[in-house]
Homo-oligomer: A and B are copies of this chain.
Amino acid sequence: MTTQTNRQWRLAQRPQGPVSDENFDLVEEAVSEARDGQALVRVHYLSMDPTIRGWMQHDTYLPKIEEGAVIRGLGVGEVVASNSDRYTVGDLVSGLTGWQEYVIADSGRNRLQVLPAGTDPLDAVGLFGPTGLAAYFGLLDVGRPAEGETVLVSGAAGATGSVAGQIARIKGCRVVGTAGSDDKCAMVVDEYGFDACINYRSEDLRGRVREACPDGIDVFFDNVGGDILEVALNNLALHARVVICGAISQYDGTPPHGPRNYMQLVVRRARMEGFLVFDHTSRYPDAIADLARWAAEGAIRHRVDVVEGIEQVPAAFQRLFTGDNVGKNAVRLV
């Protein structure tokens, strides 16, 4: 085992503008040995998440990634050697594995979560991973939709937006999405059951949001930021909730665009609130139980867009920002 190599993607150069291949270096090193209290994990899937773009550039809710360090990222893997009571060989684990083939887990800073036996690793990356859980906690805890309310979701074809909208539908809301192509919009309506979906690239966003949400927006679940945030703010219902989950339109390093009409929060007595899924770890089991039940009942559908091979990681990651992926974006390593 220790003679094997561990391929890793490291931060070569901090991005200023859009992410490109120059920001990443593929490095090989020997696989580490699991010392006392540690386990060695073989990573099976890496989760491609827009928030990593922020980590590459500056301090956010986590310190920025150091230049030369392995890219911080979520993954799912299997324990292949263990000198820890916490991990048993064969356990499926998830957490911040980093963009690499092997990782050392311990019970401290490098702790990974042991998943229940029988978990599908793709579910662990997707529906039960941080994007699915962000949809769950963001919509239910922050958005608090009530039956009959109107929920607008930006990035509705994405890993988080598609799940957020489907949960809103389960809660009896009218659900409208936005996405970047007619194919995505068709999927959002036909497969995810949204009441309507607006192609923000080809349609009149302002007019279509007004038309699709005639009584105003009670909950806006935002993954995108920029124009759609301003349009949504201009169409809020009284006492609306704006759930700030992401701002993928603003992650290219250019000076971000703040919502010029934020005073609509006063006009509509509304709130705009951010959250992080990592604050809710103690409730993950309940959330996963709900999501699993809804998925089993067919009330939630979920797509994982899998690319094969660690060499493909930078390209897969860049597709998050071009709108070319559909659903959850993941890379399969084994």
Contact = CB atoms under 8 A, between A and B. Distances in A.
A263 B250 contact: yes
Contacts of A275: 266, 269
Interface stretch (A253-261, A281-289, A313-321): A253-261
A332 to B, nearest CB: 29
A48 to B, nearest CB: 19
Interface string A226-239: 00001000000000
A146 interface: no
Nearest to A230: B258
A61 B244 CA distance: 24
Contacts of A265: 244, 272-274
Contacts of A175: none
Interface string A59-74: 0110000000000000
A259 B230 CA distance: 12
Among A225, A262, A269, A271, the one with the most B-chain Cβ atoms within 10 Å of its Cβ is: A262
10 contacts: A244-B262, A244-B266, A245-B266, A258-B261, A259-B262, A266-B276, A269-B275, A271-B271, A271-B272, A271-B273
B273 A60 contact: no
A36 interface: no
Residue picked from A255, A261, A268, A272, most chain B C-beta under 10 Å? A272
A244 to B, nearest CB: 5
Contact of A256 (B244, B261, B267): B261
A262 B272 contact: yes
Given A247-B263, A256-B263, A260-B256, A274 B279 contact: no
A257 to B, nearest CB: 7
Contact of A260 (B255, B261, B276, B279): B255
Contact of A274 (B244, B256, B263, B276): B263
A269 B260 contact: no
A269 B276 CA distance: 7
Interface in A265-313: 265-276, 279
Nearest to A265: B274
Given A272-B273, A273-B272, A258 B262 contact: yes
